[in-house]
């Protein structure tokens, strides 16, 4: 155990879980927030911005990238990371659907 069981759940459910999980860490939320507001999305800035060491930040960036939530393109010595709004929209759509189909007789 310690392993998440994914068999028996739909593809959609598993994909949503991966995306939510990727966002389930303060550093990764902070990275996403920072990317939203910066002109240039460079890891060095993040090192100055977050209370974490560079390797740790690099690791979090990788996880966000693996989940498809951010994309990075090399730009000289630095890397330009930015949000993938498609993935954000997937999560958003799921959450929005919860608000409308809610059964009124429950609770």
With CB under 8 A, what is the number of residues at the site for its own copies? 57
Residue 56's contacts (CB-CB under 8 Å, 6 or more residues apart) are: 27
- Residues contributing to the site for DNA (CB under 7 A): 1-5, 21, 24-25, 27, 42-45, 47, 52-56, 58-63, 72, 74, 76-79
Residue 74 interacting entry, from DNA, its own copies, none, C-beta within 5 to 8 Å by type: DNA
Q: Contact 71/84 with Cβ under 8 angstroms?
A: yes
- Per-residue mark of binding to its own copies, 2-41 (x: CB under 8 A): --xxxxxxx--xx-xxx-xxxxxxxxxxx-xx-xxxxxxx
Question: Which residues partner with 98 through β-bridges?
Answer: none
What separation in angstroms does the CA of 45 have from each of 8, 48, 58, 85, 94? 42, 5, 12, 22, 32
- Per-residue mark of binding to its own copies, 55-94 (x: CB under 8 A): ----------------x-x------xxxx-x--xx-xx--
The 3-state DSSP class for residue 38 equals: coil
Q: Contact 65/72 with Cβ under 8 angstroms?
A: yes
Q: Which residues sit at the interface with its own copies, rule CB under 8 A?
A: 4-10, 13-14, 16-18, 20-30, 32-33, 35-41, 50-52, 71, 73, 80-83, 85, 88-89, 91-92, 95-99, 101-103, 105-107
């Amino acid at each position: 155990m310690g392993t998440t069981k994914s068999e028996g759940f739909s593809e959609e459910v598993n994909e949503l879980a991966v995306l939510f999980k990727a966002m389930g860490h303060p550093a990764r939320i902070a990275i996403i927030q920072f990317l939203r507001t910066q002109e240039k999305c460079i890891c060095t800035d993040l090192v100055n911005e977050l209370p974490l060491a560079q390797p740790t930040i690099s690791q979090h960036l990788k996880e966000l990238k693996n989940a498809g939530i951010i994309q990075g393109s090399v730009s000289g010595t630095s890397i330009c990371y930015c949000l993938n709004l498609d993935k954000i929209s997937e999560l958003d759509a799921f959450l929005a659907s919860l608000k409308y189909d809610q059964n009124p007789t429950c609770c």
